[in-house]
Structure 1
Amino acid sequence: MSDLDKAAALEQEAELKVLRDRIDSVDRHIHQLLNDRARLAQQVAEVKERYRAADETPVFYRPEREAQVLRAVMARNEGPLENETVARLFREIMSVCLALEEPLEVVFLGPEGTFTQQAAQKHFGQAAHCRALTSLEAVFESVQTGESHYAVVPIEVEDAGLIRHTLDLFRRFDLFICGEVELAPEVAASATARCPRYLVVGREAIGASGEDKTSLLLECRDEAGALHELLAPFHRRRISLTRLETRSSGEHDWQTLFYIDFEGHASESGVRELLDELDTLDIKVKFLGSYPKAVL
């Protein structure tokens, strides 16, 4: 190596040392802030425990709050990291901090290594305890009985539409949709290919996040004009449907089951009026939940 090359190498190393020292300083600051956030999460848990009623179980995981935090992260991001990359990092931070309050028990349809497990880990982060069960019915039962906090279930797969068994179980169990998860399709056959979609299921209805969906199951007689009558209340209120699926109820050939997703939260006046009007029609209405739109 010539004297000129040696000088350039020394100059490069000197510049790199300055940058590495700055990275070490930033890392120490990040580490301190992470622990500060974790301590605040512990204090949140202490406050909830202190003020809870004797017969009440405190709720540590708030899906609407998490969605708001992730949206704020993406809105204020200035790069060079991409919005979704930063949001995924914050989801993991929230996951480990939540585990300090109360580790979440999440079940999904096994076996392990499936897309449903990927969806569970994407939504709850690596600190959640995700466990595979052998049937969708067992998944719903685990949440209904309180053995698990939440479940992640498939609702829509690429090019195959809705999972009918999932809909049947929503009819049988008194559970609520608390969130949705979308996974990128493995192979997009066209520009309009749908992403596989999964639902987060829990025992409690949740508050509004500001960007929400509501899901319903409606059952009515299979007769002329039934769909028009059913959709008219949505049209009058200019409520946008994001999904409408129809199939036989499975119990009576003369009845039809509608699965509907639409924009809005049950706490909003227009949605409340819609639900009240639907209750006056000659149909069965099951409210499945209002929940944040998928952020990631």
Structure 2
Amino acid sequence: MNFKELRKKIDKIDDEILNLLDKRMGIVKEIGQLKLKSNVAIYHPKREKEIIYRLIGQNKTNITQKGIEAIYQEIFATSRFLELPQRVAFLGPIGSFTHQVAVEKFGKLSEYISSNNIESIFKSVANGSVKYGVIPIENNSNGIVGESLDYLAKYDVKIVAEANLSIHHSFASNEKLISNIKKVFSKDIAFGQCRDFLNNYSLQNVELIPLDSTAKAAKTASITPNSAAICSNIAAKICNLPIMFENIEDSSENTTRFFIISDFKTNSTNNDKTSLCAFINNSDKPGTLAKLLYEFNKKNINLIKLESRPLHKNKGFSFWFYIEFEGHIDDCNIKEIFELKKNKLKWLGSYTKDKLKD
């Protein structure tokens, strides 16, 4: 079979795909109308994960798991846009890793609001100017983002999903030869994460210029002669900056976890986590925290994370605690904990566990 014949086959398949997508979107519109009448949230991470896992389970020959996820995330995003256009706030400039997570979750059709600080995202979700916010919560190398925890305690929002992102850096430049590069722009922490690459390519003596973000580094390198940027793939593509090398980080295990916050409660999936704030009187007294944790042990609840945060209410050293555990707020044993300690606990959200990605 020649090129022309094969391309005719592809054209025919594309026509079939488009007709099926059009039928799918028609059903989506009907579902959207029912959701609006019932005041049900448009974003339904449980249903989306069920669809993706079911399709991956079919073990197709010519399309990978990542391919299925990428295609269907765009289909979901288009579907949500038909049901109700989404506004999403994220931390950092366009091209940041937080922006990358937002686009992966909500697709290219959503309206994105760039925020310079974490609190502005919480304010936007709390006052209804955006439906969703995407915030970093922790990195497996650098630890917890304390600011995000503090605003979860302060604002009346809910965690509706989590997302794990493997942090990969690219080396991008308009220069054809690496020997022409005299300056490299990036966020300060990224230089340390890519030290081996810089040494291996004899770049340790070029001028390393730290900026506020890797996205800003890509933009700066795109207009600066004899320069390069250490940045994300998405930042390089947005700035039309050619990528010379990909995955240049020293460790392939670098992962950041993000929360998606909104104003609604998610349904149980039997594969959930729950987050809460615990405000304990006399938190500096021996055994105070242990008594609370013992209640989780009695109810057979598996704790995943425990972090202390300062109360900022007096000159002393008083703390509240962020607790994360397996299960959903609607589970009987978890309901019992909240009924027992209702004056001391603030529920922050229950959400489906996200798998660590390669």
TM-score normalized by the length of structure 2: 0.70
**1:200 corresponds to 2:260:** yes
- The separation in 2 between residues aligned to 1:111 and 1:149, in whole angstroms, is 19
| Structure 2 counterpart of 1:62 | 44
Moved more, 80-89 or 119-128: 80-89
- The separation in 2 between residues aligned to 1:238 and 1:190, in whole angstroms, is 36
- CA separation of 1:278/1:67 partners in 2, compared to 1, >3 Å: closer, same or farther? farther
Following superposition, the deviation at residue 242 of structure 1 comes to: 2.3
Per-residue CA distance 1:107-129 (angstroms, 9 max, x = gap) = 11222221111111122122221
Q: Are the aligned partners of 1:74 and 1:84 in contact in 2 as well (CA < 8 Å)?
A: no
CA RMSD of aligned residues (A): 2.3
**1:244 corresponds to 2:286:** no
Following superposition, the deviation at residue 219 of structure 1 comes to: 2.5
Q: 1:139 aligns with which of 117, 121, 125?
A: 121
Q: 1:119 aligns with which of 87, 101, 106?
A: 101
- CA separation of 1:154/1:265 partners in 2, compared to 1, >3 Å: closer, same or farther? same
- The separation in 1 between residues aligned to 2:339 and 2:263, in whole angstroms, is 23
Following superposition, the deviation at residue 179 of structure 1 comes to: 0.5
| Structure 1 counterpart of 2:297 | 235
**1:263 corresponds to 2:263:** no
| SS of alignment partner, residue 206 of structure 1 | coil
| SS of alignment partner, residue 159 of structure 1 | coil
| Structure 2 counterpart of 1:47 | 34
TM-score normalized by the length of structure 1: 0.83
Q: Are the aligned partners of 2:41 and 2:264 in contact in 1 as well (CA < 8 Å)?
A: no
- CA separation of 1:243/1:72 partners in 2, compared to 1, >3 Å: closer, same or farther? farther
Following superposition, the deviation at residue 204 of structure 1 comes to: 1.4
Task: Provide structure 1 residue ranges, at least 5 long, that are not aligned to the other structure.
Answer: 1-13
Q: Are the aligned partners of 1:233 and 1:277 in contact in 2 as well (CA < 8 Å)?
A: no
Within a 5 Å distance, the mapping from 1:1-296 to structure 2 comes to 14=1, 16-49=3-36, 51-52=37-38, 57=39, 59-186=41-168, 193=253, 195-220=255-280, 221-252=283-314, 253-279=316-342, 284-294=344-354
- CA separation of 1:61/1:19 partners in 2, compared to 1, >3 Å: closer, same or farther? same
Q: Are the aligned partners of 2:150 and 2:309 in contact in 1 as well (CA < 8 Å)?
A: no
- The separation in 2 between residues aligned to 1:74 and 1:275, in whole angstroms, is 37
Q: Are the aligned partners of 2:306 and 2:322 in contact in 1 as well (CA < 8 Å)?
A: yes
- The separation in 2 between residues aligned to 1:194 and 1:270, in whole angstroms, is 35
Q: Are the aligned partners of 1:219 and 1:255 in contact in 2 as well (CA < 8 Å)?
A: no
Per-residue CA distance 1:194-227 (angstroms, 9 max, x = gap) = 6201110111122113321111111321222233
- The separation in 1 between residues aligned to 2:251 and 2:320, in whole angstroms, is 29
| SS of alignment partner, residue 266 of structure 1 | coil
Per-residue CA distance 1:41-76 (angstroms, 9 max, x = gap) = 112223334x34xxxx55322233223223323333
Following superposition, the deviation at residue 254 of structure 1 comes to: 4.1
Identity of aligned residues (%): 30
Q: Are the aligned partners of 1:156 and 1:197 in contact in 2 as well (CA < 8 Å)?
A: yes
Moved more, 115-124 or 61-70: 61-70
- The separation in 1 between residues aligned to 2:62 and 2:292, in whole angstroms, is 48
| SS of alignment partner, residue 334 of structure 2 | helix
Following superposition, the deviation at residue 277 of structure 1 comes to: 3.1
Q: Are the aligned partners of 1:217 and 1:285 in contact in 2 as well (CA < 8 Å)?
A: yes
Following superposition, the deviation at residue 146 of structure 1 comes to: 1.0
Per-residue CA distance 1:164-192 (angstroms, 9 max, x = gap) = 1111111211110000111103357668x
- CA separation of 1:111/1:206 partners in 2, compared to 1, >3 Å: closer, same or farther? same
Q: Are the aligned partners of 2:52 and 2:72 in contact in 1 as well (CA < 8 Å)?
A: yes
Which amino acid counterpart does residue 152 of structure 2 have in structure 1? F
Q: Between Structure 1 and Structure 2, which shows a larger proportion of helix residues?
A: 1
| SS of alignment partner, residue 101 of structure 2 | helix
- The separation in 1 between residues aligned to 2:290 and 2:66, in whole angstroms, is 40
Which amino acid counterpart does residue 129 of structure 1 have in structure 2? E
- The separation in 1 between residues aligned to 2:284 and 2:46, in whole angstroms, is 37
